[in-house]
Amino acid sequence: MTHDHTDLLAAFADLGNTKLSEHSLDEILSRVASVARRALPGAVDVSITLVRPSGPYTAAYTGDLALKLDERQYEHHRGPCLQAAAEQSTVSVPDAANDSRWAGWALRAAAAGAGSVLSVGLPIIDEVSGALNIYGGRPHAFDDDAIGLAQSFAGYAAVALANAYLYHTTADMVGHLQAAMDSRAVIEQAKGMIMVQQRCSAEEAFALLTRISQNSNRKLRDVAAALVADIRSRP
């Protein structure tokens, strides 16, 4: 059976037009899952598993069936999505009701309504791997051509996800660094003002700020900012 590649090309274009600066990482992951469900023949539900050092989790999903079956794999530390992510391979379950792998997970998947399952590994970055999980509503929902399309989509999606992951993690790091620098700056301002008013050393000024912070149960930065604002507001 041969499928029209038009939908897949449109899906690639859809993902390629996504502006990283205008969407959160969660929104991009959800978009990839949604586009995959529309573009891949036989797909009833789609999810994206990410495996970080802290463990696996479902980062995006198009329906409760995918989420439920993903989470069962995480609970028992085995299943097609975990295998695909670990091996960076394609794991196919053509007929879940007659598949005895993963300690009966496939049988439970069939009972839940997933007649067949396809998981394709997603290399994201060194410390994060993942898998695109495609759930079919009937046995043998994914023929060879559908598997090939899924692999092509996963390869393209992996690049998009890696770019998004790096963009947003870098943006977070820059944001934290800027916040730290801003905090340092306002604390130094407050110290300088105290030194002038109290005619004390920098160490004594910092000790005073620390005591106020502890006694009022407020963050040191907030105490410093309030002091600077108060002094600046005086005539």
191-222: per-residue pLDDT in tens?
Answer: 777 777 778 887 887 888 788 888 888 887 78
pLDDT of 169: 57
Tell me: pLDDT of 133 over 80. Answer: yes
**Across-strand partners of 61?**
47
**The residue type at 208:** L
Q: For helices 6-16 and 144-198, what crossing angle results, to 10°?
A: 10
pLDDT (0 to 100) of residue 3:
43
pLDDT at position 90 over 50: yes
How high does pLDDT run on average in the chain? 79
pLDDT at residue 176 is higher than 60: no
Q: Quick check: 115 pLDDT over 80?
A: yes
Neighbours of 59 (CB within 10 A): 22
Residue 141 dihedral angles phi and psi, to the nearest 5°: -75, -20
- For the whole prediction, is pTM greater than 0.75? no
For the chain, report the end-to-end CA distance as a whole number of angstroms: 82
CA nearest 113: which of 44, 42, 33? 44
- Exposed, middle or buried, 181 (CB in 10 Å: 0-12/13-18/19+)? exposed
C-beta of residue 58 within 8 angstroms of C-beta of residue 48: yes
> 89 phi and psi, to 5 degrees?
-130, 180
Q: Quick: pLDDT tens for 14-66.
A: 555 555 455 566 777 888 888 889 888 899 999 999 888 889 999 899 999 99
